[in-house]
């Protein structure tokens, strides 16, 4: 589980509630069932109206992904394909058939299987890039759901506040409780803006970030497979693939290779 996601979630909500308490407030003052019903119910209804059921079914899986996704190790992938390239240069492309196991990443497995099956390099590229584009579109659609929720929630909060103020202004007979009623009305705005900026939009940003990481990983794999298929020198293959790495990752890769040489 990605403990950092949980930690930052606690920090964001904890900071706001903690500051409210420091100012003399009580957490119970922020509780309002009617405001929660308006904001969450209205947001869910609006999002549900704007997206197909098939896309909405993926919401639990997307939320789970945020807390369980592992960081992509591009250095490991470059090292793997460099070693595989040495094998294919020496024994031929068919020699990697034994490398295709269920433990492999599904995209790597599919890529290597295409090579072993003797599929033309241009067709291999077309097939893999089509899957990459499909993955990108699917993940962007998922992030769009939460971006949409981040847009609807503040509006629902304002609607809830207006509804509360309508009730307050329709009954001014008891001035002693006016302040309390007005404060309660603004809880809906707080819920709307708070959930948008602490939940929905950050979730969308995280999903987009994970999507970009996965697309980069798949692009690296496609490039590696095509280079290996055309018989590129393993060292040349590695140098080209290092273009996908940042400076820190390049240093890690070089350190691994230097240790191997020694």
Tell me how far apart the alpha carbons of residues 194 and 202 are, in angstroms, rounded to a whole number: 11
pLDDT recorded at residue 72:
84
State the pTM of this model.
0.86
pLDDT recorded at residue 200:
96
Over residues 169-211, the pLDDT tens digits come to 877 776 766 777 788 889 999 999 999 999 999 999 999 999 9
Q: What is the DSSP string of 75-123?
A: HHHHHHHHHHHHHHHHH-GGGGGGG--TTS-HHHHHHHHHHHTT--HHH
Q: What is the DSSP string of 156-209?
A: HHHHHHHHHHHHHHT--S-GGGHHHHHHHHTHHHHHHHHHIIIIIHHHHHHHHH
The pair of three-digit structure tokens given for residue 163, joined into one six-digit string: 């509804």
pLDDT recorded at residue 93:
87
Are 149 and 196 within 8 A, CB to CB?
A: yes
pLDDT recorded at residue 158:
95
- Extract the residue ranges of the chain whose pLDDT is less than 70: 1-2, 174, 176-177, 259-262
Q: Rounded to an integer, what is the distance from CA 202 to the centroid of its chain? A: 9
């Amino acid at each position: 589980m990605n403990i950092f996601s949980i930690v930052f979630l606690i920090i964001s909500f904890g900071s706001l509630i903690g500051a409210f308490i420091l100012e003399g407030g009580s957490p119970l003052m922020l509780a309002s069932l009617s405001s929660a019903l308006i904001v969450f119910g209205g947001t869910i209804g609006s999002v549900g109206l704007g997206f197909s059921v098939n896309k909405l079914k993926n919401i639990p899986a997307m939320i789970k992904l945020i807390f369980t996704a592992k960081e992509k190790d591009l250095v490991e992938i470059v090292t793997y394909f460099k070693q595989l390239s040495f094998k294919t240069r020496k024994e031929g492309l068919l020699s990697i058939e034994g490398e295709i196991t269920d433990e492999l990443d599904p995209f790597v497995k599919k890529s290597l299987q295409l090579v072993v099956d003797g599929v033309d390099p241009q067709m291999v590229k077309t097939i893999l890039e089509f899957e990459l584009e499909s993955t990108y579109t699917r993940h962007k659609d998922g992030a769009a759901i939460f971006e949409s929720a981040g847009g609807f929630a503040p509006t629902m909060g304002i609607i809830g506040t207006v509804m509360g103020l309508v009730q307050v202004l329709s009954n001014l007979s008891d001035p002693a409780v006016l302040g309390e009623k007005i404060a309660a009305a603004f809880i809906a705005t707080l819920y709307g803006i708070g959930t948008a900026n602490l939940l929905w939009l950050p979730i969308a940003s995280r999903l987009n970030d994970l999507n970009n990481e996965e697309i980069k990983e798949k692009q690296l794999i496609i490039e590696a497979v095509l280079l290996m298929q055309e018989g590129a020198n393993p060292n040349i293959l590695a140098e080209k693939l290092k273009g996908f790495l940042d400076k820190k990752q390049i240093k890690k890769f070089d350190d691994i290779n230097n240790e191997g040489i020694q």
